[in-house]
Structure 1
Amino acid sequence: MKKTVQYLLFLGLAAGLIWFAVHTGTINPQQLWNDVSHADFRWVILMVALTFVAHGSRAARWQILLEPMGYHPSFLRTNTAVWLGYFANNLVPRLGEVTRCSALYKSDEIPIEKSLGTVVTERIFDVVTLFLLLGLNLLLDFDRLLTFIQGATSATPQEGKGVPVLIWVVLALLIGGGLLVFFLREQLLQLAIVRKLAKTGKGLLDGLLSIRKLRRPGLFLFYTAMIWGMYWAMGYVLFFAIPKFAVLSPLVALTVLTTGALAMILPTPGGVGSFNAFVAFALHSIYQIPETDSGTLATFIQSSQMLATLAIGSLFLLSTFLGRRRPA
């Protein structure tokens, strides 16, 4: 019952975000239909091919994490488990990790708790990679992002003058907070919540350092780069499906990637609503793309990737089901 209520809340959040986007004009259903109906779907096929590379790289990276524990599942079964995980995540948020570990348990009898441990390590490296990409995004697009921040916080944004208040407030809070933690560190360590956070931080650090135990750390990092490189390319190639977006730069695709990844923190199925709203806001606010066009592009990317994952994932699910029914 609790899980059902939770899922309904997830659906409600997705529906609410979509309603808000339509109500405010960010998503114009008529314009969206006109643009998508004239799209060149050959680019969508290319996006699907890149998705296979991304998920295949994740499966290969997972194999490397399982090796030190003495488990050597085949690439086919590991890849199938990854696809099933993404399929589940697009239906029920946060279900994908358990689903793919369960799939590998059924095919190779790898204990779920052990494979889940490797998934946690994966997530740590993915979070670190995302923050590196955010830093790269800021570095490459610094002037435009600074202009956006100044426009949102400056006393005289139209003249490009004034103090970007938000920046100074954040810096003051960081410096003040750092000094407070330094001088009160012994008292803070007595608090249960601080000890829990310290334990969590140590776990994250241990997860990062676990790469030293891998037999092929270089290949692990290569597959990590491949995964995120493909994620970026999966969004970028879809720009060319609708001609008016083909002029957008690869840097815009990097912003779509980082903003979309952050939007996925909200637990909506397949990023419905959260991806659309966050990415559309970024495209409109930072790059001055018309609001309805921003909504169209964000929705086209999100729906194309979600529908492709559901369609292909269902085929993997069907093949798994038929494989189990074959006589020995």
Structure 2
Amino acid sequence: MTISKIKNLIQLALSLGIAGWIFWYLYKDIEVSSLWSQLKSSNWIWIEASLSIAWLGFWIRGWRWSLLIQDPTGSKVSANRAYHAAMVGYLANLMIPRAGELVRCGMLSKTNGKPVGHLIGTVLVERSIDLLFLIGTIILAFLVENQLFTSLASQLIDIPSLLIKLNRHWPTVLAGLTVFGLILYYFFSKFRNHGLVAKLKAFARQMLSGIKSIQSLRQPKGFWLSSLTIWIFYFLTMATVAFGIPSTANLTYGEVLLVMVMGSIGMVAPVQGGIGTFHALVAYILIQFGVIETDAKIFAAIIHGTQVLLVLITGLYSWIYLLRVQTKTT
């Protein structure tokens, strides 16, 4: 086994260990009977509705991705093919954090012949747009629940202390970035004729072409409308589960929005499928709303568990589907 493989296994085990420890710490005092009682008392029509909405959100995400990789001079990528590749990526994220972005690009490259670098560039565009919408959602939550948002932010982050540290250490950070840039420049200048550097440059050009795809969209309105719809569906997924569970059925739309924001931040953490971090942040915000701690943790477990189950089922189906497509193509 090579050193790189050992390093990857250590990183995987470390992230899984952190996620498992957080999950265990949160739920070590929760009895199975409490979870079962909550499940039985829940309105599963609402929860099934949340799964349907979530699945539609996944499909729209695939369609949006296909808009970015529609190359006028090359073969087109159907929304259906992009959706299945994206679902395989979500499935991979449950096993290895952030591996899904590379996996879905690799799957689509094998089935449609698109350069992996170009596809990664389009994924970078997607992630940048999603980050903008996340920031917009946080701003919206601040406007809707101003006092509560400010109170929570002050509990989680010591903003004055953070600003003092940034002001104190910015010269060191700037110097470090400058040195790093000079090292990269020296490396590429000295070894510019090396085969590896040529491959890196070609890959960078492919990525750049993928990033520039945002400038030549065939359906710009469809792209931006689908991006907005994805986040609306995130909110509806959270809201329908909240309506279906007695302990959270009385949450206001503003409070559900804050729960969604905290859940989204939890999913960004570099752990498998947001395990542990999603549960901790969602439970924390619900407790601030007056939900009993046990019920708050069970709510987080229900919504995360049902979404993971959805990804497992649809992701496995998409993986089998793309394997069959790849076999036929070969």
Q: If the length of structure 1 is used for normalisation, what is the TM-score?
A: 0.80
- Show the counterpart of 2:92: 88
- Between 1:244-253 and 1:307-316, the stretch displaced more is 244-253
- Show the counterpart of 2:180: 192
Residue 138 of structure 2 corresponds to residue 134 of structure 1: yes
- Between 1:228-237 and 1:240-249, the stretch displaced more is 240-249
Paired with 2:138 and 2:283, the residues of 1 have a C-alpha distance of: 17
Residue 9 of structure 2 corresponds to residue 7 of structure 1: no
Counterpart residue identity of residue 132, structure 1: G
Deviations along 1:71-120, whole A, 9 cap, x unmatched?
41112211111111112112221121112112211221111111111001
- Is the partner of 1:298 in helix, strand or coil? helix
Residue 36 of structure 2 corresponds to residue 33 of structure 1: yes
Q: If the length of structure 2 is used for normalisation, what is the TM-score?
A: 0.79
- Tell me how far 1:45 sits from its aligned partner: 2.1
Q: 1:185 to 1:56 in 2, by over 3 A?
A: closer
Q: Percent identity?
A: 27
Instruction: Kindly indicate whether the alpha-carbon contact (under 8 Å) linking 1:124 and 1:207 is maintained by their aligned counterparts in 2.
Output: no
- Tell me how far 1:320 sits from its aligned partner: 3.0
- Is the partner of 2:244 in helix, strand or coil? coil
Paired with 1:208 and 1:119, the residues of 2 have a C-alpha distance of: 8
- Show the counterpart of 2:261: 258
Unaligned runs of at least 5 residues, structure 1:
154-164, 197-205
Counterpart residue identity of residue 299, structure 2: L
- Tell me how far 1:323 sits from its aligned partner: 4.6
Unaligned runs of at least 5 residues, structure 2:
185-208
Paired with 1:189 and 1:14, the residues of 2 have a C-alpha distance of: 31
Instruction: Kindly indicate whether the alpha-carbon contact (under 8 Å) linking 2:120 and 2:210 is maintained by their aligned counterparts in 1.
Output: no
Paired with 1:225 and 1:79, the residues of 2 have a C-alpha distance of: 17
Paired with 1:283 and 1:21, the residues of 2 have a C-alpha distance of: 14
**What root-mean-square deviation, in Å, do the aligned CA atoms of Structure 1 and Structure 2 show?**
3.4
1:308 to 293, 310, 317: 310
- Tell me how far 1:38 sits from its aligned partner: 3.1
Paired with 1:185 and 1:95, the residues of 2 have a C-alpha distance of: 29
Paired with 1:325 and 1:187, the residues of 2 have a C-alpha distance of: 51
- Show the counterpart of 2:118: 114
1:77 to 78, 81, 94: 81
Deviations along 1:30-89, whole A, 9 cap, x unmatched?
322210133232223212211222112111111121124644111221111111111211
Paired with 1:219 and 1:186, the residues of 2 have a C-alpha distance of: 40
- Is the partner of 1:92 in helix, strand or coil? coil
- Tell me how far 1:16 sits from its aligned partner: 0.3
- Show the counterpart of 1:156: none
Q: How many matched pairs? A: 303
Q: 1:224 to 1:186 in 2, by over 3 A?
A: closer
Instruction: Kindly indicate whether the alpha-carbon contact (under 8 Å) linking 1:85 and 1:96 is maintained by their aligned counterparts in 2.
Output: yes
Counterpart residue identity of residue 53, structure 2: L
